[in-house]
């Protein structure tokens, strides 16, 4: 399903790149349409943009063959496929322990079909991000006019596809980031000329695939973040102690703290200190991450990393006190053995010279404290924070179909959802950013929560 928007399409022949884009396209969408007749209307286009537009051209051509389907039906299909994947994993397990070659063969075939069906279904839900970018054209134009700052919006990678739900939920955080860039980042035309920059500001929105993730960057060529102002504000708010040595990258992250704004006056657009923290939370709820880099007078770049889909993830299955848990593989960095001599007094691990704090999940979960021998540490990362999680055993990787937890478990923040294992049991999925945040919680505190619940 493609969204036909109000964007103007200018076609041109791009002999170098067009044939193979069209070819790959007809392969993935199985559209046997001949390459569209392209007419040169605008010859002064970069070949990059021409490439994207050729894609659009193919879409316009194949428009007659698209079907509009209500979103719930797709969700239903995805649920069914999820169940199929779970049952297929069970069949696989059964076939492996069986001596029947016929059964093994069938299990293998079903496995291949299920994997194919899963990929196809996931692809159906993917929507090009261009539909979202186009919504921002108007926003940027209106903001630029209101602020009296001429701004060029440059978009790249509109053809990058992302899950429909992710795209919908991305709109608000991106609006906040764009507003911030225009309001705080880009200077007034006079200011820009004084800084030897073109009077017209430049805002770039780019999306691209990076492995199983999509990276979206919003960059401006404005004044960059002012680290003096941020530091001052952070000290006032008590986020850092005065004079403390804070690496710049950590300092920039403070703008995602709730209530943080360095704007001297509150405008209709921004400066109220709400927005960036909400944006960060939304992105994290989508199991993504947000990073910021900035250079004085050169501009600011905000990078969002998002998973391709919300429905199925690769997970690492671990065992802990007899229960099994899933750690999203995307946040796993490495697995190491917990040294025997590791005393209980210090929860620090030396990994190739770097000290990594670790959490004993047994303590955190309040399970019995009998110490298992040969415990493993799964090193996970959220942003730039690395934390080790001590588990009893690492079982292996697991295709995790995510099921949400019931409303009765909304108070449980440590888990982002649950999944069903090949043997039919349920397993909980650890919420890594949340876990790292709550890392300071001690067993005592956990016991207290237990009491309150009772």
Partner 1 sequence: MTNTTTAVAADARQTLILGIGRELFAIDAGLVREILDPVPTTVVPGAKDFVPYVINVRGNVIPLIDLKVRFGLPPQEMTIDTRFVVIRPKIAGDWLNVACVADKVFEVAPLVQTSLADTTKMGLRLPSDLISGVGRWQDKVVLMPDLERILN
Q: Which residues bind partner 1 (CB under 8 A)?
A: 79, 82-83, 86, 323-324, 364-367, 403-409, 411-415, 418-420, 423-428, 446, 449-450, 453-454
Which residues are registered as beta bridge partners of 204? 154, 219
CB of 425 to partner 1, least distance (A): 4
Minimum CB distance to partner 1 smaller for 262 or for 400: 400
In angstroms, the CA 422 to CA 399 distance is: 10
As a dihedral over the C-alpha atoms of residue 164, residue 167, residue 172, residue 174, rounded to 10 degrees, the angle is 180
Cβ distance to partner 1 smaller for residue 63 or 366: 366
Nearer to partner 1, 26 or 87 (CB): 87
Interatomic CA distance for residues 17 and 13, integer angstroms: 9
Q: Which two tokens stand for residue 206?
A: 């780019």
Token digits of residue 351: 């990994």
The beta strand positions in 72-200, using DSSP E, are 126-128, 151-156, 161-163
Query: Which helix (H) or strand (E) is 220 found in, with range?
Result: strand 213-220
Which residues are CB-contacts of 23 (< 8 A; sequence separation ≥ 6)?
none
- When computed from its CA atoms, the radius of gyration of the chain, rounded to whole angstroms, is 25
Count of all residues that appear for the chain in the document: 454
Rounded Cα distance between 53 and 105, Å, is: 45
Closest to 55 measured CA to CA, from 154, 117, 129: 129
Nearer of residues 85 and 174 to partner 1, judged by Cβ: 85
Q: Which of 73/264 has CB closer to partner 1?
A: 73
Q: Which is nearer to partner 1, 113 or 412 (CB)?
A: 412
CB 224, min distance to partner 1, A: 42
Question: How many helices (H) and strands (E) in the chain?
Answer: 13, 17
Q: How far is the CB of 443 from partner 1 (least distance, A)?
A: 12
| Nearest-approach distance from CB 75 to partner 1, in angstroms | 14
**CB 5 → partner 1: shortest distance, Å?**
35
- For residue 318, the surrounding DSSP H or E stretch is strand 312-320
Nearest approach in angstroms of CB 316 to partner 1 is 17
- Residue closer to partner 1 by CB (options 234, 312) is 312
* 263 in Cβ contact with 184 (< 8 Å): yes
Q: Which two tokens stand for residue 225?
A: 């973040």
| DSSP tag of 181 | I
Q: Which of 132/428 has CB closer to partner 1?
A: 428
CB of 436 to partner 1, least distance (A): 16
Smallest separation (angstroms) from partner 1 to the CB of 93: 14
């Amino acid at each position: 399903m493609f969204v036909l928007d109000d964007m103007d399409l200018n076609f041109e022949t791009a002999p170098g790149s067009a044939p193979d884009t069209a070819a790959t396209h007809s392969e993935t969408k199985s559209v046997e349409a001949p390459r569209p007749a392209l007419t040169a209307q605008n010859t002064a286009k970069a070949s990059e943009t021409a490439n994207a537009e050729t894609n659009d051209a193919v879409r316009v051509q194949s428009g007659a063959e698209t079907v509009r389907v209500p979103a719930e039906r797709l969700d239903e299909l995805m649920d069914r496929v999820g169940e199929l994947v779970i049952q297929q994993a069970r069949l696989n397990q059964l076939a492996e322990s069986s001596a029947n070659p016929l059964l093994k063969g069938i299990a293998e075939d079903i496995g291949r079909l299920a994997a194919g069906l899963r990929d196809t279904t996931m692809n159906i839900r993917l929507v090009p991000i261009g539909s979202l970018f186009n919504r921002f054209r108007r926003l940027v134009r209106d903001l630029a006019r209101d602020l009296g700052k001429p701004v060029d919006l440059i978009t790249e990678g509109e053809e990058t596809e992302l899950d429909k739900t992710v795209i919908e939920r991305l709109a608000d955080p991106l609006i906040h980031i764009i507003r911030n860039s225009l309001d705080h980042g880009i200077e007034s035309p006079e200011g820009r000329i004084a800084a030897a920059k073109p009077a017209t500001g430049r805002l770039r929105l780019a999306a691209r695939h990076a492995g199983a993730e999509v990276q979206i960057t919003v960059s401006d060529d404005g004044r960059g973040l002012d680290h003096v102002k941020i530091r001052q504000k952070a000290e006032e708010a008590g986020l850092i102690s005065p004079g403390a040595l804070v690496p710049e990258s950590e300092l920039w992250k403070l703008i995602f703290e709730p209530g943080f704004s360095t704007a001297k006056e509150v405008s209709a657009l921004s400066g109220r200190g709400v927005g960036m923290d909400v944006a960060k939370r939304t992105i994290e709820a989508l199991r993504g991450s947000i990073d910021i880099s900035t250079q004085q007078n050169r501009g600011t770049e905000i990078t969002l990393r998002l998973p391709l889909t919300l429905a199925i993830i690769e997970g690492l299955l671990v065992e802990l006190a007899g229960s099994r848990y899933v750690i999203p593989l995307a946040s796993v960095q490495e697995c190491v053995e917990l040294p025997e001599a590791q005393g209980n007094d210090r929860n620090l691990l030396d990994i190739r010279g770097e000290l990594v704090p670790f959490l004993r999940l047994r303590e955190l979960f309040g399970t019995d404290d009998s110490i298992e021998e040969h415990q493993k540490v799964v090193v996970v990362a959220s942003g730039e924070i690395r934390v080790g999680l001590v588990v009893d055993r690492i079982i292996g990787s697991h295709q995790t179909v995510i099921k949400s937890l019931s409303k009765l478990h909304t108070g449980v923040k440590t888990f982002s959802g649950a999944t069903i294992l090949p043997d039919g049991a349920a397993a909980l999925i650890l919420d890594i950013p949340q876990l790292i945040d709550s890392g300071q919680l001690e067993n005592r505190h956990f016991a207290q929560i237990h009491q309150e619940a009772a």
